[in-house]
Amino acid sequence: MTKCSFYQSYRFLCSECNYLVETVGPWPYRREGEKIRHYRGLSEACSGPVHGLMAKVYCPRCDKNKEYAIVEYPRPLANLSEIWWTTPLKTKLACHKCKEKVYLILPEGTVKCPRCKKGTFGLYEPIPEGEVEYVPVPPPQSPLRVRQNGKTIRIPKPVVVIDSQEHMGYKFERFTNWFSGTIRKRLPVGDYTLQGMEEEVAIERKTLPDLVNSIIQDRKDFIEKCEKLSTFRKKCLVIEGSLSSIKTPYEDSQAHPNAVLGSLLAAQERWEIPVYFLDDFVLAEEFVASMLSKYHAYRWLEMNGFERCLIEGDI
């Protein structure tokens, strides 16, 4: 996606499965022949000309983000300020592929989630705890940097492998600085791994309802999964829920929170599987992405004769 210094970013969360959708824009552009050039700063855009506005919109039917020219003007605007009194030639409201409606702003509680088919999207805002409002900063945009012996070492970006049965999980679209892409295939253990490292990396994701159900109703299957996970060099359980939420009585289950947490920590100690509690879908996806990126970097350094450190004399 084109990087500009003055666009607005929006995030929307499914009310049922916590699936995250992000849209960005709009930002102005100009045409140079057949090519579209994006303005990268407000001062540059103010000098014009402006042929239209671009945006990264969302198509619920395709379940994809698409970068479109959503507004085109009948004649080039002299500068950005003229957008306030100039009527557009056309506005782009339909997907090029499926012809269904695309959105920059998803109406609250109107657009149905294409993944779980139950919930609707609402504006995502981090929930304040007590009197302190925690607003997590966006994830890093720069690639992972490694420097040893005074030289920069360029590590190839890995490919994330996503279990083909993981339909409401992470897509890692926000982390092109860390990964070259993703593929889907059936994984015998876990939900996420790295291409070429499928035999040593397995990350299992659990939402809070899924965790409670696994430990109480599907306990035998949960134990079998833990036994298989324990054989991997890099493994963990990522829980989408804070420790406080796990210790709070559940709306849809009579299971006691102490039984759930106790079983989870017992599994951690018996099979040496690290358990991570993450506040929500957004932070959990970033956590998994960062962990996989760094694990790949250290293993690549090991396998190619370098020291096991990102910065010499440091971590």
Q: In 3D, which of 58, 24, 20 has the Cα closest to residue 286?
A: 20
d(CA 57, CA 104): 5
Q: Where does the pLDDT of residue 31 fall: very low under 50, low under 70, confident under 90, or very high at 90 and above? A: confident
> What's the CA angle centered on 56, arms 54 and 62, to 5 degrees?
130
Whether residue 6 is predicted with pLDDT greater than 80 in this model: the reply is: no
CA dist 75 to 30, 52, 67, 91, 311, Å? 11, 9, 22, 14, 53
This prediction has a pTM of 0.66
d(CA 90, CA 70): 8
Burial call 121-160: b when 16+ CB within 10 Å, e when fewer: bbebeeeeeeeeeeeeeebeeeeeebeeeeeebebebbeb
Between 228 and 78, where is the model more confident? Answer: 228
| Domains of the chain in sequence order | 9-122 (no CATH), 146-303 (3.40.50.10130)
Q: What's the rounded mean pLDDT across residues 151-180?
A: 94
Q: Is the distance from CB of 287 to CB of 275 less than 8 angstroms?
A: no
Whether residue 46 is predicted with pLDDT greater than 90 in this model: the reply is: no
Q: What is the pLDDT of residue 304?
A: 95
Q: Where does the pLDDT of residue 48 fall: very low under 50, low under 70, confident under 90, or very high at 90 and above? A: confident
Which percentage of the chain shows pLDDT scores above 90? Answer: 60
Q: What's the rounded mean pLDDT across residues 103-116?
A: 91
Whether residue 212 is predicted with pLDDT greater than 90 in this model: the reply is: yes
Digit-coded pLDDT (tens) for 92-102:
788 888 999 99
d(CA 158, CA 111): 34
Between 229 and 166, where is the model more confident? Answer: 229
Average pLDDT value over all residues in the chain:
88
Q: Where does the pLDDT of residue 29 fall: very low under 50, low under 70, confident under 90, or very high at 90 and above? A: confident
Between 9 and 225, where is the model more confident? Answer: 225
Side chain identity, residue 122 = G
Which percentage of the chain shows pLDDT scores above 70? Answer: 90
Q: Which two tokens stand for residue 204?
A: 């299992």
Q: In 3D, which of 3, 41, 4, 7 has the Cα closest to residue 24?
A: 7
Q: What is the pLDDT of residue 78?
A: 80
Q: What is the pLDDT of residue 126?
A: 58
Please state which of the ranges 27-36, 237-246, 255-264 shows the lowest mean pLDDT: 27-36
Q: In 3D, which of 251, 278, 274, 249 has the Cα closest to residue 264?
A: 274
Whether residue 128 is predicted with pLDDT greater than 70 in this model: the reply is: no
Digit-coded pLDDT (tens) for 55-65:
899 999 999 99
